[in-house]
Structure 1
């Protein structure tokens, strides 16, 4: 979000908040882009994943972060932070980097909350 805020400097605060909200909404939609690198046999498995399959699934965060890492667009930079960090946890028990607290980008913290809510309220497809 820092890159986006820096790039959108100037203008009134309502406009900045609106721009940030729009950027976050678009960037958040790419949070699982790294799943493009996960085999369908793991993605579409109807039952519980084995430990090995779960390790493969967890790699979607790194894959997504790498896909977006070199972008020049502030919004896509935010999307890369989200893709990499949306499974990190405040207490450091998340993945892939086991960062904690404010080390987790704010946009990723927001998306993590929404992602958990979505998982709790919808059946897995």
Structure 2
């Protein structure tokens, strides 16, 4: 992964959601892999940090997560086109890493408010928080 990928992700989302694109399933696989590689790394787990590097070494991970969040509706539609139903658990948030500085904290607070969320007790206290999306095959 590199810093250019967050810029092209919205374009890839749209291509992956278009059934006319011949490589649509390959793009979906790529997006799923990208989502996995953008997961936060627990800096307390030395083995994981050795394999994947710390989040501070890879700021693009956070940018990837932001792009996935901004394009959530396209991601959900794309997964639905492939038989996956996506639900969002809004009952709680999941604490992520601490902010690196006040600028990042202010950015996160503004982003949460822009999406209609409330940063009180969460981002205002110094950590990123995430919501949990889960996609499963349609059916019983």
Structure 2 length-normalised TM: 0.29
Higher strand proportion (structure 1 or 2):
2
**Max Rg structure:** 2
